[in-house]
Amino acid sequence: MLGAMRPCVGSPIAVCMCGVTTMPQYFLTGRNAQGKEIRQQVQAANPDEAVGRMQSQGFTDITLLTDDVLSSKSYAPLREHMSPDEIIRYAQLTRWGRFWHILLRLYWQMGWMCALALGWLIVARVLHWRWRLTDVFAIGILFLPMLIMGTNRLTRNGRRVYDKLVDAAGWYRWDEVAKLLPQLPETIAPEERLFRGCQVVAGTGHLDDALERYRAGVAYLDKPEWFRYSRLATLCLAGQDIDRHLEYSEKMAEAGFDQPLALIDAAASQAVFRRDSRRARELLASARGHAMVPIAKLHADLVDGMIAVEEGKPQDAVTILEPVLKQLDFQAGQHIVVASSRDRAHAYLALACAGVGEQDQALKHYRAAAPRLQALHRHELLARLREAVRLGD
């Protein structure tokens, strides 16, 4: 369900939570007594405790920058090479931005070698020396970082396979997910493998079997109760059992009362499937009472806009959702799982724009949202959208 980045098809944040541990690690920023901004990596049971630990050290203006997924799983290989500040900046880049960041870092680390190689080539050309083996060697040094990065991108097949699998699951293409599962790299966590396999089982018409398989498999893994309920709720979505999805979502919210991601996801389910704005608002208010990472805040704003639509406040919804959509457009360039949240924003913006009489904008958002809604069999929401944009006229 909701949770690294980023996700399960019904809960765009939680799919990325496959690396949760009993003592997560968080990156935070705060100001010390001298007013200087300091970033720290803190180990704590939850985001609130992480913020509390920095407060106890005298820091003010504390901001939670990353959750455990970003700090302890997704970017764990970078710790040996980057400081916390660098990892945080890296996490905020697009995929191509990360490529250029690493490339420039390689050039920086090889700076003296590249400077010598470039100097040699300049001197050799100015003095009109004949081409020698040393010239070829110097050119090789200059192009070595590019060769390393190019080779890295070509050989990262495992990551590409996982990205394809997540994208296919986000469109309920279960045959494709089943074909990709055996190709997943060994670095993918056992729980994630288990969950993806169970998604295929649920999506192909065997929900009870999928739920039983997941319960049996996750029993041997160290996962918090709320997280297990989030996975079960998402399996119910894949199996098109909305009633059980809502049941597990409520259990997730109860078990994860101090986990904003769980509360936001449960609020979204109430807004989408029950159109219960009161209950959704309660859950969202509880989530906002805890420290949240930027992507969680973004999804909280998305749910806020969805609730505004259900409360009959289309102008408020437009005001909330338009900046959210811009951020989701950017985030989708970093994380494939965010694409489903972006399409959800389009869907509710279509309803909101129609509510304020902006039919052209409503139609544009409808066209962006419709393909995924059709793939996920969200027939009720699709019918509302068609009526709102007057496709039948």
pLDDT in tens, 30-43: 888 888 888 777 88
The pLDDT tens digits of the residues spanning 194-205 come to: 999 999 999 999
The per-residue pLDDT for 382 is 95
pLDDT bracket for residue 225 (50, 70, 90): very high
Q: Which of 45-49, 200-204, 337-341 has the lowest mean pLDDT?
A: 45-49
Listing from the earlier edge strand, what are the strands of the sheet with 60-66? 37-43, 25-31, 60-66
Q: Where are the domains of the chain?
A: 20-92, 96-155, 157-388
- Regarding predicted confidence, which is higher, 58 or 335? 58
- Regarding predicted confidence, which is higher, 211 or 57? 211
- What does the pLDDT average to over 132-153? 84
pLDDT bracket for residue 279 (50, 70, 90): very high
pTM summary value:
0.77
Q: Which of 131-145, 162-176, 187-201 has the lowest mean pLDDT?
A: 131-145
Please check the confidence at residue 23 and state whether its pLDDT lies above 80: no
**Cβ pair 356, 318 in contact under 8 A:** yes
Please check the confidence at residue 262 and state whether its pLDDT lies above 60: yes
Phi then psi for residue 25, to 5 deg, are -125, 140
The pLDDT tens digits of the residues spanning 96-108 come to: 777 787 888 888 8
20: amino acid identity, one letter: V
Cα–Cα nearest to 271, from 310, 234, 242: 310
Percent of the chain exceeding pLDDT 70 equals 83
- CA torsion sign for 163, 177, 167, 318 is negative
Cα–Cα nearest to 157, from 182, 181, 179, 184: 184
Please check the confidence at residue 155 and state whether its pLDDT lies above 60: no
Q: Which of 15-19, 42-46, 292-296, 306-310 has the lowest mean pLDDT?
A: 15-19
- What does the pLDDT average to over 362-386? 96
Please check the confidence at residue 1 and state whether its pLDDT lies above 90: no
CA distance from start to end of the chain: 37
Q: How is residue 370 written in tokens? A: 């419709």
The pLDDT tens digits of the residues spanning 357-369 come to: 999 999 999 999 9
The per-residue pLDDT for 363 is 96
- What does the pLDDT average to over 137-166? 80
Please check the confidence at residue 261 and state whether its pLDDT lies above 80: yes
Please check the confidence at residue 375 and state whether its pLDDT lies above 90: yes
Q: How many CB atoms lie within 10 A of CB 374?
A: 13
The per-residue pLDDT for 186 is 84
Mean pLDDT across the chain, nearest whole number?
Answer: 85
> Which residues have a Cβ under 8 Å from the Cβ of 21 and sit 6 or more positions away?
68, 72, 222
The CATH code that applies to domain 157-388 is: 1.25.40.10
Cα–Cα nearest to 389, from 374, 378, 368, 377: 368
- Cα separation, 213 vs 200, in Å, equals 12
